[in-house]
C-alpha cells in the first residue's frame, strides 16, 4: 500500500509577482510502505522544497499530496535535517522526548532503544553542545526513528559531515532501517550514497520535473566497495551526466 501519493504537484515561489519562479513542475509518484526512496538531482532542482512540502513546512501551489497511516489516524512523520536541529538548552534525552506524543514509559524506553542503536545511550544526559557534529546528527536520526513514523524524511543528513563519519552513519542508518523497515524519502545530491541506500531513485532535473525513476534491485546490506554496487553507481552517474548534457543543450 502506498504511504505517500503525489499527483501533479507544482510549486511556484512569489506567485503573481515579476519574481515568480517555478521550482517544481508536474511531479507525480507514490511511495509504497517499507521502501527506501531517494530523490537526487543537481543543486536548485527543488529536492529540499519537495521534502518541505511533504512535511508541511512549505505549501504547494497546485496538485495533490496524500499520506496514509497504518493506524488509521493521522500519518506521523519523522524528519532528519541537514543539520541536527536540536534544542541546545535541553539534554539529549529531553530532545528525544520533545517530539514525542506522550511521556509513557513505553515511549521513553523506545527513545532509549534508538539512542542505544546509534551508540549514544551513555550520552542521554549531555547537552548537544557537549557532542561532536556527527554525534548530534546521530541524535537527530534516533529522534526521527523514535517517533515511529509512517514516513521518514531525510534531507541530505550527511552532507555536513566529514567522509569517514558520513560513511559510518550511512552503515548505521542501513542497520536501523533494516530492523525498523520504515518508509523513507531521502534527499541527496550524492548518487553514490543514493545507490548504496535506496530501493528506488527518483531523478529530478533542473526546472523541477522528474527525469527518471530508477529501481535499485541489489541485495542488502550494501557497501560502496561491493563490485555490483559500484557498477550500478557508475551506470546511474552516467545517466545523470546524460541528463545534464541534455539540460545544457536545451538551455542553449
Partner 1 sequence: MSTTMTPVKARRSTTEKEQETPAWKKRLTSDNAARVAALLSFFLFWVLMSALFERVPGPIEVVQRLVEEFQRGEVFGNFGMTLYRFGVGVALATVVGIAVGVIMGLSQLGRAFFESPVLVGLSIPAIIWSFLTVMWFGFGDLSPIITTFLTSVPFVIVNVAQGVRGVSRDLRDMSTTYNVPFSRRVRDLVLPAVTGYVAAGVRFAIIIGWNGVLLAEWFGGGGGVGYRARWWYDANRFGGFAAWVVLFVGFIVLLDRFVLDRVIQRAFRWRDASA
Return residues touching partner 1 (CB under 8 A). Answer: 52, 55-57, 76-79, 81, 83, 85, 87-90, 94, 98-99, 126-127, 129-132, 147, 153
Nearest approach in angstroms of CB 38 to partner 1 is: 19
Nearer to partner 1, 62 or 130 (CB): 130
Nearer to partner 1, 164 or 252 (CB): 164
Alpha carbon dihedral 141, 146, 152, 158, in 10-degree steps, equals 0
| Measured distance CA(251)–CA(249) in Å, rounded | 5
As measured in angstroms, the least distance from the Cβ of 89 to partner 1 is: 4
- Closest approach, Cβ 101 to partner 1, in A, equals 8
Q: How far apart are CA 188 and CA 117, in angstroms?
A: 23
Closest contact distance (angstroms) between CB of 96 and partner 1 is 11
- The answer to whether 53 and 43 are in contact (CB under 8 A) is no
Cβ closest to partner 1, residue 90 vs residue 209? 90
Q: Quick one: 4 or 77, whose CB is closer to partner 1?
A: 77
Nearer to partner 1, 55 or 224 (CB): 55
- CA angle, residues 60, 141, 113, in degrees to nearest 5: 135
Question: Cell for 103?
Answer: 511521556
Q: Tell me the closest approach of the beta carbon of residue 99 to partner 1, in angstroms.
A: 4
Distance CA 88, CA 93 (A): 12
What count of other Cβ atoms lies within 10 Å of the Cβ of residue 178? 11
Q: CA nearest 74: which of 180, 128, 159, 151?
A: 151
The two beta strands, 62-67 and 2-13, are antiparallel
Amino acid at each position: 500500500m502506498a504511504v505517500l501519493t503525489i499527483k501533479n504537484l507544482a510549486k511556484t515561489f512569489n506567485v503573481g509577482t515579476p519574481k515568480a519562479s517555478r521550482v517544481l513542475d508536474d511531479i507525480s509518484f507514490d511511495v509504497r510502505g517499507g521502501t527506501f526512496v531517494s530523490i537526487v538531482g543537481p543543486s536548485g532542482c527543488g529536492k529540499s522544497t519537495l521534502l518541505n512540502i511533504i512535511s508541511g513546512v512549505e505549501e504547494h501551489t497546485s496538485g495533490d499530496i496524500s499520506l496514509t497511516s497504518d493506524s488509521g489516524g493521522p500519518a506521523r512523520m519523522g524528519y532528519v535535517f541537514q543539520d541536527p536541529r536540536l534544542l541546545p538548552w535541553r539534554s539529549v534525552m529531553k530532545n528525544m522526548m520533545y517530539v514525542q506524543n506522550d511521556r509513557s514509559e513505553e515511549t521513553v524506553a523506545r527513545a532509549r532503544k534508538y539512542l542505544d542503536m546509534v551508540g549514544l545511550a551513555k550520552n542521554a544526559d549531555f547537552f548537544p553542545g557537549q557532542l561532536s557534529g556527527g554525534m548530534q546528527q546521530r541524535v537527530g536520526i534516533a529522534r526521527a526513528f523514535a517517533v515511529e513514523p509512517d514516513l521518514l524524511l531525510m534531507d541530505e543528513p550527511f552532507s555536513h559531515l566529514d567522509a569517514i563519519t558520513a560513511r559510518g552513519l550511512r552503515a548505521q542508518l542501513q542497520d536501523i532501517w533494516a530492523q525498523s523497515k520504515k518508509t523513507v524519502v531521502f534527499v541527496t545530491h550524492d548518487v553514490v550514497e543514493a545507490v548504496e541506500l535506496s530501493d528506488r531513485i527518483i531523478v529530478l532535473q533542473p526546472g523541477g520535473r522528474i527525469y527518471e525513476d530508477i529501481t535499485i534491485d541489489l541485495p542488502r546490506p550494501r557497501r560502496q566497495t561491493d563490485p555490483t554496487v559500484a557498477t550500478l553507481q557508475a551506470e546511474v552517474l552516467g545517466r545523470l551526466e546524460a541528463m545534464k548534457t541534455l539540460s545544457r543543450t536545451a538551455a542553449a
